[in-house]
Amino acid sequence: MDDVRILQFLETLPEPVKAITTSRRVRVRHSIYPIDVGVFEAREAVRLLHSQAERRGRDFLLDLPESRKLELVEACSFLPLVIEWFVGRVRNGGEVYALEEALRGSGRTGEELLEFCFRRVHDELSPPARRVLKVLSIFDKPEPIEPIAGGAQLPIQATDDALEELRESALVEAAHEPRVSAVTYSVLPLTRRFANAELLREGYEEAEIRKRLNRYFQAADIADPAQRRTISEMRLGVRDPGTELVNVAIALARSGKRDEAEHYFKDAIRRNPRDWRAYRETAEFYRHAPVPNIGEALRLYEQAYAWAPKKGPDRALLLREYGILLRDSGLPGAMKRAADLLEEALGEYRGRDDSVCRHALGDALMRLSMHRKAVEVLVPLLDHPNDAQRQKTYPLLEQLYSRLNERTALDDLRKRVAKDVPRR
């Protein structure tokens, strides 16, 4: 155990509570009942080999007879980490035999075998994967991809590929961390020790990585001082990363720095693929671009819709704007979907000022030739206090009454229009 919070918790347990702990080092001074776990039994080692092969899609290992699997775990000295690295390293039957022979021929056991196996796996990694592993060996807790990329001085996509290679080789573990709304990556303590030893052999490289990490966490790559502070706090975990990335992107877009804004919008989505607000704001960014990208905006709104709140004003606004975008998209079948979304949005507003949504819904219903329903939706806007809203509504109702052949209603509307002089 290395987590200080767990250690502090165990130190303060009230009597007569006792903690059952397992560790290679004596870190907890009170309330201990030590358990010697011992090495794997043969059947446990074979079971681990089987589960790791299933997890990594190594069908050629799953198809081996039980006696052959037993031989493999014996070559691994029944050590769990060696078994994991073995399964992660081999890609076909030929590699199984070669690595097994290397393990048997090494004459090593225990920790020496672990180091030998790590060396075999490490030497066959790509250069980017080795750089990423060195950065991970410095961290003492799981981290998202951005600081790892910053420390390794690699683009995000290259870092992602390297992390996938390391995961396949059973050197890195990934888990979703709600605290930062992102997938985080870490190495096991033993792996970190071996990787850190490899890093120290390079001499100067550790200092260079730490220098790059300092620049990353201080946001030295951001020119604007106000943005630098915000980004630095976000990277340090003081602010919610997803929200701040979107806020920074919006501010950049408003100041005309659209290329930078696009970068942060994409970062926000990549960090949390379930962030409906990030999808919606990015959609609006493309929708209102100097040259609008309506196709991309529609795709992003569909993602926002999938993760949107189930009730409330945020959902109403999202449905309204998505509906209006669909209404004007020209896609087959889009008008009916737009009307459905706008109708749901109107229900979510629950009596608040909903004139934009109501007008858009009435317009969509008219285009669908649902004239009677369109009239019912639009009539309340005749008494709207906003002059512009009333002036926009009159032409729609005039067309609807004409199509429904309602002469009396049409005459009354025209009289009302003649008297309704917009206030200056």
Enumerate residues 6+ apart whose C-beta is below 8 A from 59.
53
pLDDT digits 0-9 by tens, 259-288: 989 988 998 888 788 889 999 999 999 999
Q: Which two tokens stand for residue 207?
A: 């200092």
Phi, psi dihedrals of residue 358, rounded to the nearest 5°? -65, -45
In single-letter form, the type of residue at position 162 comes to A
Report the topology of domain 127-217: Arc Repressor Mutant, subunit A (1.10.10)
The pLDDT, as a whole number, for residue 396 is: 92
Q: Residue 238 above 70 pLDDT?
A: no
Confidence of residue 372 (pLDDT cuts 50, 70, 90): very high
Number of CB atoms found within 10 A of residue 410's CB: 17
Q: How far apart are CA 206 and CA 135, in angstroms?
A: 8
Check: pTM over 0.75? Answer yes or no: no
Q: Torsion-angle region of residue 330: left (phi > 0), alpha (psi -120 to 50) or beta?
A: left
Backbone angles phi and psi of 301, in degrees to 5: -65, -35
Average pLDDT over residues 294-313: 92
Structure tokens that stand for 61 in this block: 């290992």
Give the span between the Cα atoms of 275 and 232, in whole angstroms: 21
Model confidence pLDDT, tens digit, residues 82-141: 899 899 888 888 888 888 888 888 887 788 888 888 888 888 899 999 999 999 999 888
Please report the pLDDT score of residue 383 as a whole number.
87
Other C-beta atoms lying within 10 Å of the C-beta of residue 362:
26
- Express each pLDDT in 284-296 by its tens digit: 999 999 999 999 9
Is residue 411 packed enough to be buried (19+ CB in 10 Å), middle (13-18) or exposed (0-12)? Answer: exposed
- How does DSSP assign 197-221, residue by residue? HHHHHTSTHHHHHHHHHHHHHTTTT
Which two tokens mark 4? 């200080």
pLDDT(216) > 50: yes
